[in-house]
Amino acid sequence: MNSNILNIECLRLISDGSGVGYMNGIATFVPGLLPGETAEVAVSKTKKKWQRASLLNLIQRSPERIDAPCTVFEGCGGCQLQHTTYAETLLWKQRWVEDALARIGKISAEVKPTLGMEHPWRYRNKARLHRLPTGELGYYKEKSKDQVNFHDCLLLSEGMNRWIKRTEELLGEGYPEIHTLTFRENTKNEGLLIIEGMPGESLSVPENNDFFEALAKEGLRSIWNLDAEGSLQLIWGDEEFSQTILGLTFELSPLAFLQVNSRQTDLLYKLVLDAVALTGEEIVWDLYSGIGTLTLALATKAMKVTAIEENPYAVENAIQNAVNNHAVGNIEFLKGKVEQRMMKIEEEPDVVVLDPPRAGIHADVLQRLLELKPQRIIYVSCDPGTLARDLGGLTAGGYKVDSVQPVDMFPWTGHVECCCLLVRAE
Ligand SMILES: C[S@@+](CC[C@H](N)C(=O)[O-])C[C@H]1O[C@@H](n2cnc3c(N)ncnc32)[C@H](O)[C@@H]1O
């Protein structure tokens, strides 16, 4: 028998969709294997402390195993968890957060069960696609530039899939300089398309109005060109593109951040609003504030909100959104990096909301928060690793983790969002 072929029992699932078991005490990662399963596997990579193996033959099958509904699940890499039940994915997301907090942050806190979706499909409001020389549009496989073509991505709405197919047909093999296309869809199911040239190259913008008119019939509202310098030009359609969140309307520029799961966004923001527990007397800082989604909701319940955001397009949107929603009286919008702008504010906050990108907060932000000592910090995170690091720093500096609520913003993928409340320990 080949000594590389082993029997293994899977004990855990990790976020890239691999199962983990032990062979002679060595952690062995097997893509596609599920907890509770035993299998024959072939070792493909060996390191000092771990090894990787591929699944040859399933001996004991988990009752949680399902056939992935997507036909390109195995080759795509966009989803990591379609081979198990939705309930099981929610359970593991809760464990990943618990594990990161304990291992990285040295925090033992109760992590609540992950709040999932009733219908966990067709939730993504954004898709970034690349084009083959033959004209087909597809995703890049994770960590590579190999392209995956698909007929129907089950994370996107039927409308967005239709825009993609129609764009592919209309472009055909023409316009070879168009290389990357990003579609966004709002809560009214209207679409926006951003086109880009080859990496580092600007496009000469197509002037074919028939092409644009045909896409408009499918529900696309506007087409933008993003040039190699990173600036945007509207090449066709309507500049305005709005999204409804918690009953308010937000203008959104093509490059501004928006939660990718519109249906779960209200739920996530309601958790934040519950956690801040405002009485109307508080000074609140909304750090990493995007287009002002949380800022406006916070301002209805606080004395004053100061919002900081670095993306100039998003800040412009946020100011306009405050005007449009009659919420200008008690909000100050500051443009710039949080780690720089917050140092210059003289007023001290009672409550701070943090919603940073995956990298988490800058060490200077953490340090300044420990000096300012706000009563409450609400940390919204899309990366359990950096969340755990930052909560570790905040708890070491006098905060107590009051609640940790994972929310499934990204069903069938290894990603998980969390809303955490921290309060001053003394
Ligand atoms: C996860 S989004 C949150 C946005 C907003 N709170 C929302 O819910 O829509 C993170 C935001 O932080 C901004 N950002 C990233 N790094 C930043 C920094 N160092 N300083 C200020 N803003 C930053 C991004 O442009 C993005 O809008």
pLDDT tens digits for range 336-386 = 999 999 999 999 999 999 999 999 999 999 999 999 999 999 999 999 999
CA of 215 from ligand 1 middle (Å) equals 31
pLDDT tier for residue 219 given thresholds of 50, 70 and 90: confident
**How many helices (DSSP H) and strands (DSSP E) are in the chain?**
10, 22
Quote the pLDDT of residue 137: 92
pLDDT at residue 212 tops 90: no
Whether 382 is a known active-site residue: answer yes
Alpha-helix residue ranges (DSSP H) falling in 191-348:
209-217, 262-276, 293-299, 312-324, 338-341
The answer on whether 288 is annotated among ligand-binding residues is: yes
Cβ-in-10-Å burial (0-12, 13-18, 19+) of 110 comes to: exposed
CA distance 281 to 259: 29
Residues 258-263, mean pLDDT to the nearest whole number: 96
Is the pTM value of this prediction over 0.90?
A: yes
Residues 397-412, mean pLDDT to the nearest whole number: 98
pLDDT at residue 113 tops 60: yes
Asked which of 22-26, 103-107, 315-319, 390-394 is least confident by mean pLDDT, the reply is 22-26
Pocket test for ligand 1, best of 257, 272, 306 (most atoms within 8 A of CB): 257
The answer on whether 355 is annotated among ligand-binding residues is: yes
Residue ranges and CATH numbers for the domains of the chain are 5-65 (2.40.50.140), 88-118+244-424 (3.40.50.150), 126-241 (2.40.50.1070)
Residue 259 alpha carbon, nearest atom of ligand 1: 9
The answer on whether 243 is annotated among ligand-binding residues is: no
CA of 309 from ligand 1 middle (Å) equals 6
pLDDT at residue 419 tops 90: yes
Note the pLDDT tens digit of each residue in 164-205. Answer: 999 999 888 888 888 999 999 999 999 999 999 988 877 777
Within a 13 Å sphere around the CA of 215, how many CA atoms are in the beta-carbon half?
A: 26
Q: Tokens at residue 132, please?
A: 């083959």
Q: Which residue has the higher pLDDT, 136 or 65?
A: 65
Pocket test for ligand 1, best of 310, 334, 364 (most atoms within 8 A of CB): 310
pLDDT at residue 261 tops 70: yes
- Helix or strand run (H / E) with residue 180: strand 180-185
The answer on whether 259 is annotated among ligand-binding residues is: yes
Quote the pLDDT of residue 262: 95
pLDDT at residue 206 tops 70: no
Pocket test for ligand 1, best of 242, 309, 352 (most atoms within 8 A of CB): 309
Quote the pLDDT of residue 177: 87
Quote the pLDDT of residue 3: 65
Q: Which residues line ligand 1 (CB under 6 A)?
A: 257-259, 288-290, 293-294, 308-311, 314, 337-339, 355-357
Quote the pLDDT of residue 348: 96
Asked which of 10-14, 112-116, 230-234, 408-412 is least confident by mean pLDDT, the reply is 230-234
pLDDT at residue 1 tops 60: no
pLDDT at residue 48 tops 70: yes
CA of 383 from ligand 1 middle (Å) equals 14
Quote the pLDDT of residue 144: 81
Dihedrals phi, psi of 317, to nearest 5 degrees: -60, -45
CA distance 201 to 191: 25
Catalytic residue among 382, 418, 419, 420: 382
Q: Are 289 and 309 in contact (CB under 8 A)?
A: yes
Cβ-in-10-Å burial (0-12, 13-18, 19+) of 60 comes to: exposed
Residue 295 alpha carbon, nearest atom of ligand 1: 6
CA-closest candidate to residue 53, choices 32, 24, 34, 67: 32
Residue 269 alpha carbon, nearest atom of ligand 1: 8
Note the pLDDT tens digit of each residue in 61-92. Answer: 999 999 999 999 988 889 999 999 999 999 99
Q: Write down the mean pLDDT value for the chain.
A: 94
Q: Are 388 and 100 in contact (CB under 8 A)?
A: yes
Asked which of 52-56, 88-92, 130-134, 234-238 is least confident by mean pLDDT, the reply is 130-134
